[in-house]
Structure 1
Amino acid sequence: MPKLTKRLVDSLTPELKERIIWDDELGGFGLRIYPTGRKVYIVQYRANGRTRRKNLGQHGVLTADEARKDAKLIQADVARGADPSADRKARLRSPTIKELGKRFMTDHVELYCKPTTQYDYRNLLDKVVNPILGSIQVSEITFEDIATFHLKRQSTPYQANRGVMMLSKMLNLAEDWSLRPINSNPTRRIKKYPELQKKRYLNDVEQERLGAVLGQMLQDAEISRYVFAAFYLLLLTGCRLSEIQKLKWDYVTPTHLELPDSKTGRRRIPLPREACQLLQSLERREDNPYVILGDHGESHYNDLQKPWRKARTRAELTDVRLHDLRHTYASVAVTNGIDPFMLKEILGHKNLSTTLRYAHLSDDAVQKAAGQIANRLANRLGSIG
């Protein structure tokens, strides 16, 4: 068969069966003619020991000369180790980001992460990531896609940054699962937005004011003895909210709270004398294993945020979150000379850097320390004026 040209291809007529006409100038370049009369340019090559064919385009959309150029480019890619037909099939089989997210949850998050982390990941997927990226195929997602997602979420920088972090983990796993080439993660080099860290803790006056308000609310029966105890225990132990809210009597010893599980695994929390006395004042219910009892039923107090909002408003501390009581514990500890490494163990942190973020020194303590430094230097320098 001579060289495929427009004139020749136009003249070829269909037959009862599909047939292929090969070009005699470029090996592997041909024309497939269907019984319907449809004519499609193809290229044939060998990759990984197998013969493959790839459609280049329909005659009329492509000319013979354009199809020949495309065939040469594909043959050059094959010579460098590519397999265009297999790559296309892989792309067609590639899951979307939404589908990858489902596998990420079942095959990774639910196996290795705590329930609270699972909840956070599921929220990020459903409310932050999927609405923008969910329909994009895993094999096709690019740096530009991730950067656009990050930009669209700039009004909520914390969510935007956490979304990129989760996507990074998901796409690393996609590489492990052979859904993307190794070292192709497009989340690299995404510059995170600055996050304003909430450095809030109670100073001495605020602590006294909160104590007075809680005492009055208990006396007026606006909160139960258990709610009162929960707020005090958060301050006296530096525990996380869930660790106190879901505390069981089985975990309480005369000297420690022995938690079988927490955000960072098993924890042994020192129980100071004041906290121990407070626990001893609480009445136990035989059919309820929890320390902080709900108003009825066999479970713990379900929503401590509601009484907390009332208490903080009464104490003029409307910007203080329950988690800030843990900040306050850390701040008081550092201000009173507790070694950060020891505080890390008390708070149950995996990394010292986390402890140092919690341990915000009060303005008075910083001012006092700065004055002591300046005083020593001034004594050595002599008279200033």
Structure 2
Amino acid sequence: MPKLTKIIVDKAEPRDRQYTVWCSDLKGFGVFVLPTGTRTYFVDYRNANNVRRRMKLGRYGTITAEQARTLAIQALAEVTKGNDPLEARNSVRKAISVKELCELYIAELEAGRILGKGGRPKKASTKITDLGRINRHIIPLLGRKRATHVTKADVTAMMKDIMAGKTRTNEKTKKLRGKSIVRGGLGAASRTVGLLGGIFSYARDELGIIEINPAHGVRKPKDAVRKRRLNEEEYRTLGRILAKAAEDERYARTVDIIRLLAMSGCRRGEIIEVRKAEIDTIESAFRFEDTKEGQSVRPMGLPIAEYFDERDMDGDSPYVFPGERNPDGPFGSFPRHWEKIFAETELADLTAHVLRHSFASIANDLGFTEITIAALLGHASGSITSRYVHTLDAALVMAADTVSGYIQALLDGAVLSHSHYALDRGSRKAALARFLSPQPDSAHPPEAVERLAA
């Protein structure tokens, strides 16, 4: 047993089962290593009743080996006085309120130690959303209760209060002309219960102050399914609205962004905050560094590739759409412009998500499969789709060209007809013959092409 140092802990490789590395220099001090690679410092001792106790001191990476050693020495010193340091710590923790628990969770969140999708630290945008739900819903409704006294019934009551709009508020923020509008509702209630479950999991797994998570098993309301999509006439209406808005030079950039959203199916933030380095018109791809799904490679339809080819990308800003007052940041006037463009129009209820949903619906109308549509949208929840979107093949780019081109034509006022790919042999042979038809300078005679098609 060597003296427990950073070098020793670094070398402790994970195995199939949890194991312990003890310190030769300080009896009872050690680190256990989980199969996941997580390493946690602890100290073992026997209390005045000769009961063996194990007190966690902190995770490797959160505290250093020397800091853990100091905590272990302090704990063992308390034992020699007849005290039980673990019991004392638990007594303090068990007395904390939900508000105090949330504050501990927020500190971990800000330090990047709360993990989200794929085991990655939660994104900045997710942190902001979590903080809003904690401060606007959880603390006002449950903050005064002891964390150990919260029951499943308490969580259910909180959820129903949020659904009923009890925490509804509308107040100014520190931003210029900024507002914080909290409406509550089904979606907010369901997602807040999910977040509270994560906070109580932290209280159980990291702090050890509860044994059962009171948010688990709470029946959450189904979020309202957003079925709104644009039909073809509405796309033409959208095109007319945008053409009129573009006559005002102030809205030209916003109009471009809206058209790109419609033709790409991207999320609003992905286009507004797209960086020049993420645009690859040679391979016809968006190469997003950081999205809701992490890194994402997405096919770019030909109308979008041509737009970026024609756009001046030589400015100093890293963003395709830089801020008007701060070119080092992304364009910030989009929400205000959107509101003015669509106010008192036939599409006053339009949202960026509706454009994304409509893109997927058009792709479905044109006969593309769910897995292709998922790849076009950047969904990476399934293993097949995850593999599919790392590199782009010609079929996926063709799909993006088809959907983007179709929507572009609708925005420009065209009346189109579409059909699914014909699966009868005659139609397929005809399509293949057209694909293989020689160019004027081709060395292949027409007879060879006919044989290939046959």
TM-score per shorter chain, which class?
0.5 to 0.7
CA distance change for structure 1 residues 244 and 304 in 2, over 3 Å: closer, same or farther? same
**Do the aligned residues in 2 keep the contact of 1:129 with 1:163 (CA within 8 Å)?**
yes
CA distance change for structure 1 residues 47 and 200 in 2, over 3 Å: closer, same or farther? farther
**Do the aligned residues in 2 keep the contact of 1:294 with 1:300 (CA within 8 Å)?**
yes
- What displacement does 1:301 show? 1.4
- What displacement does 1:193 show? 2.1
Residue 323 of structure 1: aligned partner: 353
- What displacement does 1:247 show? 0.8
Identity %: 23
1:335 aligns with 2:359: no
**Do the aligned residues in 1 keep the contact of 2:257 with 2:271 (CA within 8 Å)?**
yes
- From 324, 344, 349, the counterpart of 1:295: 324
**SS of 2:294 mapped into structure 1:** coil
- From 102, 126, 131, the counterpart of 1:122: 131
1:158 aligns with 2:198: no
**SS of 1:297 mapped into structure 2:** coil
> CA offsets per residue over residues 207-239 of structure 1, 9 Å max, x none?
011112212221343512x22221111111111
**SS of 1:302 mapped into structure 2:** coil
> CA offsets per residue over residues 175-222 of structure 1, 9 Å max, x none?
11243343x111233221233222111110010111122122213435
- From 258, 271, 277, the counterpart of 1:244: 271
Residue 219 of structure 1: aligned partner: 247
- From 302, 322, 327, the counterpart of 1:273: 302
CA distance in 2, matches of 1:293, 1:92: 50
**Do the aligned residues in 2 keep the contact of 1:246 with 1:292 (CA within 8 Å)?**
yes
CA distance change for structure 1 residues 253 and 89 in 2, over 3 Å: closer, same or farther? closer
Residue 49 of structure 1: aligned partner: 50
5 Å matches for 1:182-201? 182=211, 184-201=212-229
> CA offsets per residue over residues 102-148 of structure 1, 9 Å max, x none?
22223247341111111110000000000111122222222222122
5 Å matches for 1:132-151? 132-151=141-160
Q: Aligned letter for 1:276?
A: A
**Do the aligned residues in 1 keep the contact of 2:155 with 2:214 (CA within 8 Å)?**
yes
What runs of 5+ residues in structure 2 fail to find an aligned partner?
A: 1-46, 52-85, 114-120, 165-184, 386-418, 421-454
CA distance in 1, matches of 2:326, 2:155: 47
CA distance in 2, matches of 1:302, 1:168: 34
Q: Aligned letter for 1:188?
A: H
- What displacement does 1:314 show? 5.8
Q: Aligned letter for 1:177?
A: E
CA distance in 1, matches of 2:370, 2:358: 14
**Do the aligned residues in 2 keep the contact of 1:245 with 1:292 (CA within 8 Å)?**
yes
CA distance in 1, matches of 2:326, 2:193: 42
**SS of 1:162 mapped into structure 2:** helix
Residue 284 of structure 1: aligned partner: 313
What runs of 5+ residues in structure 1 fail to find an aligned partner?
A: 1-45, 51-85, 356-367, 370-385
5 Å matches for 1:1-385? 48-49=49-50, 90-94=90-94, 95-108=96-109, 110-111=112-113, 112-155=121-164, 156-182=185-211, 184-224=212-252, 226-254=253-281, 255-298=284-327, 299-313=329-343, 315-351=345-381
CA distance in 1, matches of 2:191, 2:302: 40
- What displacement does 1:273 show? 0.9
**Do the aligned residues in 1 keep the contact of 2:190 with 2:222 (CA within 8 Å)?**
no
**Do the aligned residues in 2 keep the contact of 1:201 with 1:320 (CA within 8 Å)?**
no
CA distance in 1, matches of 2:87, 2:190: 32
- What displacement does 1:294 show? 3.3
Count of aligned pairs:
273
Residue 13 of structure 1: aligned partner: none
> CA offsets per residue over residues 317-375 of structure 1, 9 Å max, x none?
011112211111111111111111121122122336xx9xxxxxxxxxxxx99xxxxxx
Report runs of 4+ in structure 1 exceeding 4 Å deviation: 86-89
Backbone CA RMSD of aligned residues: 2.6
- What displacement does 1:282 show? 2.2
CA distance in 2, matches of 1:334, 1:47: 70
CA distance change for structure 1 residues 171 and 118 in 2, over 3 Å: closer, same or farther? same
Q: Aligned letter for 1:287?
A: D
CA distance in 2, matches of 1:173, 1:350: 27
**Do the aligned residues in 2 keep the contact of 1:248 with 1:290 (CA within 8 Å)?**
yes
**SS of 2:135 mapped into structure 1:** helix
Larger Rg: 1
Q: Aligned letter for 1:324?
A: V
**SS of 2:234 mapped into structure 1:** helix
CA distance in 2, matches of 1:220, 1:139: 59
**SS of 2:148 mapped into structure 1:** coil
Q: Aligned letter for 1:98?
A: K
Q: Aligned letter for 1:317?
A: L
